[in-house]
Structure 1
Amino acid sequence: MATSQDEMKLTFRKFKDGENKWSSMHDKIFVADTSHKCPVYVHRTPPCQGSCPAGEDIRGWLQIVRGIEKPAPGVEWHEYAFRRATDANPFPAMMGRVCPAPCEDGCNRNEVEEFVGINSVEQFIGDTAFENGYKFEAPALITDKKVAIVGGGPAGMSAAYHLRRRGIASVIFDDHDKLGGMMQYGIPNYRIPRSHLEHEINRIIEMGDIEVRTNTRVGKDVSVEELEKEFGAILWAIGCKTGRGLFVEGWDETPNCVSGVAYLEAFNKGDLKVTAKKVVCVGGGDTSIDVVSVSRRIGTVEDLDPSLAPEKVVAGEAKHDDALAAKRVPCEATLTALFPREEMTATEEEVRDALHEGVTILNEVMPVALVRDESGRATALRMAKCVVKDGRPEPIEGTEFDLEADLIVSAIGQGGDLTGLEDFDNGRGLMDSDQFYQVPNKPGHFVAGDIVRPHLLTTAIGQGSIAAESIEHYLKNEQQVKRPKVDKHHFDLLAKLKEAGLAPIEFHAEELGDLRGTSEGDWAVHNFEDRAAQEIITTDQMFLGHFQYTPRHKRAEHGPSAEEVLGHFEDRYTGLPEDEAKAEADRCMSCGLCFECDNCVIYCPQDAVYRVPKDKRTTGRYVATDYTRCIGCHICSDVCPTGYIDMAMGE
């Protein structure tokens, strides 16, 4: 019985009949004329982009920096790289510094040696844009409807940026003095230079038709109903700024027990200048590392007035003045974690730096009780060694010990503050979202960022982009479009050909007839297939033997020692100079896209593979095949380093 249309599924699976590996290259070549397969040029997404929550075309901007992909006419390559990088993410200087770089974990070069330093090249692009004053372009508005964006953090700012690029105006509501969210109030200034952060925020606002209303809390100063009347859609990007307390008796009633996010906000606002003599932070993630690293930098003051105790500053009941900073002396900072060091969620780099700065880290321990004095203040945190079973820690009996503390900080997780927005609470202090980042059963309401699920800054930025696309469809009364398996911000050969003035001509069947079998017409890209929306290329499809060992070009780090850390707030990284940024970008293996190595041309025994003429050549369109010469020997595919050639014709 024939397969119905509904049952048919498109697949790229290759059929295999018997042995498909030749034991001898000699045999392979001499029976090659029996093969029905000839080369097809197939574009796939590299795993760096597949690992990036924002979906950046990482390979693309690395290709531009290294000089393989040439800019559009009249555009200088630094700006061209900036445009490509910010197509997905408007914060290259920020993410180049603080993103934990899942892209580097996914980098295929790890199978050869060490990953490409993607973060360092992204920082170079962002810092160069800062120095050269590059601006974002903004098209004309396509609608008079505006979008209310509640929250000016990475998700909200990303959404405002992507909406404006789509011709949609917005108004950003934020309950702080400044925009930036966790980038402004959660991450210390030595990790994110405030000059660069403010520049990247202002660059978005300067696109125009993005209004900002700070010190305004929706649900208190403005009602949800008012927003629904004024705006065509609402995006909730309020983040997670309430920290979880420790699961020990008396936590909420103990004054010198605070959350990590509140502690860091007090520091980043400039209110907290010094801390306690002995700070204990429970965590294991990046937030806990920031807490102890900040503590080591701001130090403490002997005989600090109790009215200026750190917990009072964190609670908003006091502020420190600059005079206190002049009296700083080192403090003790201890970080405790449930897991062994290699399993901590903080990046290895952050853990290493904290230890170098004099932080004490205790692994595989858990808090079991507070030790308090007669006034109710904590004097120690009782700990025990632990094991983790089924995701839950269990103390080991008889291993308890007291860890002296003047301030105890909990950095074990965050939640949303939905006061005044209780109708949106999913019962876990978060908001629900569907696959298009719409709030279920609330038409016109969308959501993005940590309030969906606390994760990376880059994740929030990526969600803001997707939400902006969904909002555009909603405002146009269009059905939401299913997203591809792999994100959209990848290389587009047709767009590149159009940019170079080489776009295929329009095909008119009534004039030319059915010519689908030809490879000579200018109305199609000759034997090219774009699978980037469906497939991520793996190293088993590549010729890794092409790549030689090339050491990384690492940016300089300013990690102070335990003796130098007090008062040390310099930018942690000195960006790569231009020649080293190019050299590091040149380590990219261009997985899934031709990088013009000429292997296929050199090794083809029939001279069937040839370079496309220079006046018709562009990235992704460097070589082609004369199929009257091709004998299907597979050599071009075997020696293609990037996996761009498939022996697929006839499948």
Structure 2
Amino acid sequence: MSDTDPTYRRYADGDDQPYDWNRDVVSQGESYICPTYIQRTPPCQNACPSGHDIRGWLSIVRGQDRPEGDKPWQQHAFERMTLANPFPSIMGRVCPAPCQEGCNRNSLDGCVGINSIEQYIGDWARQNDLAFSKPEADSGKRVAIIGGGPAGLAAALFLRRLGHRSTIFEAHNALGGQMVFGIPGYRIPRDVLEHEIQRILDVGGIDVKLNTRVGREVKVDALEKDYHAIFWSVGTVMGKPLRVEGGEAPNCVDGMTFLKAFNDGSLKYLDGRILVIGGGDTAMDVAAVAKRIGEVAELDAAERPQAVFDGSGSQRDEQIAKRSDSDCWLVYRRPIAKAPCTKHELEACIAEGVEVHDSLAPLEVMLDDQGHAFALKVQPVDWSSGKMEANGEPFEIECSLIVAATGQTGDYEGIDDIANDWNQIDADRRMQVKGKSGHFVAGDAVNPHLLTTAIGQASIAVQGIDNHLRGEAVGDRPKVEGHHFDLLQELAQKDLSPEEYNHGETWGTNSAKWSVHNFENRADADVVKTNAMFTGHFTYQPLNARDELDVNVTNVLGSMIERFNGLEEETAISEAKRCMSCGFCFECDNCVIYCPQDAVYRVDKNERAMGRYVETDYSKCVGCHICKEVCPTGYIEMGLGQY
């Protein structure tokens, strides 16, 4: 066995204690407990804030769950994945993929490349102009959506699928929120963004009012009269300033101001060393942009970045030819290994020439006679004790621009009564605004986080809005949330639905036509872990990674190309086949092959569906547990017969 081959061990070193006697029931190869089939949530879905049925659409890509008729499998996968998140091309590019961190395959040879497959499906859908289906009915209800970012756009689509109309009120001149104003265009190509936004609007029943700020052009009480519910997705459009003495200098700005100026085309170059303060993804974006736009020496005051930020000046296209590599420092108060940013983004910034100076706490912005920053005084610090302690003498770092990427906040001017003391909106577990009936909220207004978090919260909020519009109680949320696979829905699509229950006396359900026997759906309460699976079934298969372009210090200036090339169809399929289908049958035949009594058998082809591939003849089963032990996915549990 080579060093790259995965190993499988049911027991660890020193694991010599017997099971609890209630579980250790096998005697001479037999027991009274028979297998049943349990659907559980895979950890990738549990880790995804938008609750993607990742395992479900990967089973489509790998060819297990085939579409009906002549529908392309890519379309089938697109329809499944966009039930949870309508931006596959965007998320496949910029989501930091917490799903991949949760992937059980990490215990073998590394996670499945979920993001790269999502990008492939999203790009295929765009190239083939796939559209979302239009609703069959109209409820007559209208919802006001305040903010046209990812949460607001997703909510508009989710509401329309339920038959409700909406109007999006957006303060800016374009929809997209952070996707258009906060994330650089080389990470989200603008044609991709515009296409995925337009696909949502094409569903119909979604009106848009741009350059319309709620609290100024339209009042909240007017919305309450004209609409049946209000959804708040105002986001965090303002960066937090650097809270040290001198931080108010005109050439000391926040990260959102910097990125917005770049994304709208007004910031074209810098004029000297830039210090980026922070260790999150916004800090990485600012630093990466700084390396791309470079600097121009000896600028007039009206062309310097601070003149762009405050609107007193502008930069000229003809100066772009004079640009040289920018001097960009990333200053972080903790060790850089503790930075919350995506690891790859940090590594890319370093490769592109960004200097990292960590364990430095900003003390003061040093100002010249005109009130402009010329240096940042910092204190070297040590964190080995678990808290920040001074470690040496303070010193000054000369600079021409300081960008504080240390957090973001909302702008609630004119709507102050909706925000709390931390400039956020309080919500309950159903994303209903506390103390305001008919008001719901999602996204950074609740808690600044990922794009996919905002979309997942929008889905939850829409469920609550739908309950509210129907006059129903807004119920509690399940322990494990997500867009779970529904076996009954799958059976219905194949005309295999159970018969209507006759409420008569029945002894067992083994032959009952009204019951899906020996199956239990625990997806909303249970997540399958690696130790419940037979990982010895899987062979070593390296990640089919996307090709990464070599953007480095020698060619980063002026580079606005994407860092990754998307997968080709064959590679996407190969990568999807690495999925271990945790918590659900993927038709490997192990239980059929290894059953010594031939008690486990395949369902007839004309009655087969996803999740209904095998059944058990309990008259033959002796409870040997072998089927459970060899099930790679943890789908089989010995439980039938216990009381």
Shift of the alpha carbon at 1:459? Answer: 0.3
Give the Å deviation of 1:237: 0.3
Q: What one-letter code is carried by the residue in structure 2 that aligns with 1:557?
A: E
What letter corresponds to residue 508 of structure 1 in structure 2? N
Evaluate the alpha carbon distance shift between residue 45 and residue 516 of structure 1 in structure 2; reply closer, same or farther with a 3 A threshold. Answer: farther
Q: Tell me, in whole angstroms, the C-alpha distance in 2 between the residues paired with 1:458 and 1:590.
A: 22
Residue 488 of structure 1 deviates from its aligned partner by 3.6
Query: What amino acid is the match of 1:465?
Result: S
Does the CA contact (< 8 Å) of 2:238 and 2:410 recur in 1? yes
Give how far 1:17 is off.
Answer: 4.8
| Structure 1 position 351, deviation (Å) | 0.6
Counterpart of 1:40 (choices 36, 39, 45) is 36
Q: Deviations over 1:272-320 (max 9, x none)?
A: 1112311001000000000010000001112212112112212233333
Gaps of 5+ in 1: 1-14, 23-27
Query: In structure 2, what is the Cα distance between the partners aligned to 1:500 and 1:559?
Result: 48
Contact 1:591-1:642 within 8 A present in 2 as well? yes
Residue aligning to 2:220: 224
Partner of 1:105: 101
Q: Matches of 1:261 and 1:131 in 2, distance apart?
A: 32
Deviation at 1:205, TM superposition (A): 0.4
Partner of 2:338: 343
Q: 1:395-446 CA distances to partner (integer Å, 9 max, x unpaired)?
A: 33x3312111100000011111111111112011111111111111111111
Aligned position for 2:580 = 589
Match of 2:327 in 1: 332
TM-score of the superposed pair, with normalisation by structure 1: 0.94
Task: Find the counterpart in structure 2 of residue 203 from structure 1.
Answer: 199
Question: How is 1:529-548 mapped onto 2 (pairs within 5 angstroms)?
Answer: 529-548=520-539
CA contact (8 A) 1:366 1:393 kept: no
| 1:18 CA displacement | 2.5
Compare 604-613 and 243-252 and name the one that shifted more. 243-252
Q: Residue by residue, what CA displacement relative to the aligned partner does 1:595-642 show, whole Å, maximum 9, x if unpaired?
A: 010000010001110011111111111111011110000000000000
Alignment-mate amino acid for residue 642 of structure 1:
T
Please tell me whether the aligned partners of residues 424 and 431 of structure 1 are also in contact (alpha carbons under 8 angstroms). Answer: yes
Q: What is the Cα deviation at residue 247 of structure 1?
A: 2.2
Q: Distance in 1 between matches of 2:461 and 2:316?
A: 42
Please give the per-residue CA displacement for 1:210-235, whole angstroms capped at 9, x wherever unaligned.
00111111111111111111111111
* Structure 2 unaligned spans of 5+: 1-17
Whether the 8 Å CA contact 2:361–2:381 is kept in 1: the answer is yes
The equivalent residue for 2:509 is 518
Measured in 2, the distance between the counterparts of 1:570 and 1:58 equals 28
Q: Contact 2:246 / 2:366 at 8 angstroms: preserved in 1?
A: no
The alignment partner of 2:125 has SS state of helix
Bigger drift between 365-374 and 89-98 goes to: 365-374
Q: SS where residue 641 of structure 1 aligns? A: coil
Residue 387 (structure 1) shift: 3.5
Shifted more, 197-206 versus 430-439: the winner is 430-439
Q: 1:357 Cα shift?
A: 0.3
Residue 290 (structure 1) aligned with residue 285 (structure 2): yes
* Deviation at residue 53 of structure 1 after TM alignment: 0.2
Is 1:174 the counterpart of 2:170? The answer is: yes
CA distance in structure 1 between the aligned counterparts of 2:536 and 2:412, rounded to whole angstroms:
55
Q: Give the residue type in structure 2 aligned to 1:343.
A: K
Q: Which piece of structure 1 moves more, 243-252 or 138-147?
A: 138-147
- Asked if residue 129 in structure 1 is aligned to residue 125 in structure 2, the reply is yes
* Structure 1 CA distance for aligned equivalents of residues 316 and 133 of structure 2: 42
Partner of 2:243: 247
Q: Counterpart of 2:165 in structure 1: which amino acid?
A: A
Aligned residues: 625
Partner in structure 1 of residue 134 of structure 2: 138
Residue in 2 aligned with 1:648? 639
Secondary structure class of the residue paired with 1:556: coil
Amino acid at match of 1:31: Q
Give the corresponding residue for 1:8: none
TM-score w.r.t. the length of structure 2 is 0.95
Give secondary structure in 1 for the equivalent of 2:640: coil
Map residues 57-456 of structure 1 onto 2, 5 A cutoff.
57-252=53-248, 254-388=249-383, 393-396=388-391, 398-456=392-450
- Supply the distance in 1 between the matched residues of 2:311 and 2:365 (Cα, whole angstroms): 24
Deviates more, 1:322-331 or 1:429-438: 322-331
Residues 280/208 of structure 1: CA separation in 2 closer, same or farther (3 Å cut): same
Task: Tell me the distance in 2 between the aligned counterparts of 1:518 and 1:155.
Answer: 44
- Counterpart-to-counterpart distance in 2, 1:461 and 1:504: 34
* Match in the other structure for 1:7: none
Q: CA deviation at 1:324?
A: 2.6
Q: CA deviation at 1:248?
A: 1.0
Structure 2 residue 470 is the aligned partner of structure 1 residue 476: yes
Letter in 1 for 2:21: G
**Match of 1:175, SS?**
coil
The aligned counterpart of 2:7 is none
Partner of 1:385: helix, strand, or coil?
A: strand
Structure 2: how far apart are the matches of 1:383 and 1:516? 77
1:31 paired to 2:62:
no
| CA-to-aligned-CA distance 1:544-591 (integer Å, 9 cap, x gap) | 111111000000112411010000001222110000000000000000
Q: Post-superposition shift, 1:323?
A: 2.1
Q: Which amino acid aligns with 1:228?
A: E
The CA deviation at 1:500 is 1.4
Asked whether the equivalents of residues 137 and 163 of structure 2 are also in contact (C-alpha less than 8 Å), the reply is yes
Contact 1:357 1:559 in 2 (8 A): no
Q: How far is 1:378 from its partner?
A: 0.8
- Are the equivalent residues in 2 in contact too, given 1:141–1:169 (CA < 8 A)? no
Establish whether residue 18 from structure 1 lines up as the match of residue 21 from structure 2.
yes
Tell me whether 1:489 sits opposite 2:486 in the alignment. Answer: no
Distance verdict in 2 for CA 1:515–1:75, change over 3 Å: farther
Mapped to 2, the partners of 1:17 and 1:298 lie a distance apart of 64
Cα distance per residue 1:96-149 (max 9 Å; x no partner) = 110011000000001112000000000011101001100001214432221110
Compute the RMSD of aligned alpha carbons. 1.6
Q: Percent of aligned pairs with the same residue?
A: 49
